[in-house]
Amino acid sequence: MTYELEIQIEELRAELRNAADAAERRDIQVELDCARAELAIIVVEQEGRLDAEPPF
């Protein structure tokens, strides 16, 4: 799953470079930020630094 997210991030970065107007850049930046955050969470979970389940 991380590989797919890394590809998505690279594609969004390319789209951001080629965005035509400010509104499009903002939309792409939001998607990019979300994808980066999702990837960061997955990496932390895989490294065991974060429990995927809430404590009981």
2 pLDDT band, cuts 50/70/90, is confident
- pLDDT tens-digit profile of 4-28? 999 999 999 999 999 999 999 999 9
Task: Give domain status of residue 55, yes or no.
Answer: no
For the question of whether the overall pTM of this predicted structure is more than 0.75, the answer is yes
End-to-end CA distance of the chain: 28
Task: Give domain status of residue 54, yes or no.
Answer: no
Task: Give domain status of residue 18, yes or no.
Answer: yes
Task: Give domain status of residue 11, yes or no.
Answer: yes
CB 35 within 8 A of CB 12: yes
Task: Give domain status of residue 51, yes or no.
Answer: no
Task: Give domain status of residue 53, yes or no.
Answer: no
The count of domains in the chain is 1
In the predicted model, is pLDDT for residue 37 greater than 70? Answer: yes
The amino acid at residue 28 is I
| Structural domain for 16, as ranges | 2-46
Q: Which two tokens stand for residue 21?
A: 């107007």
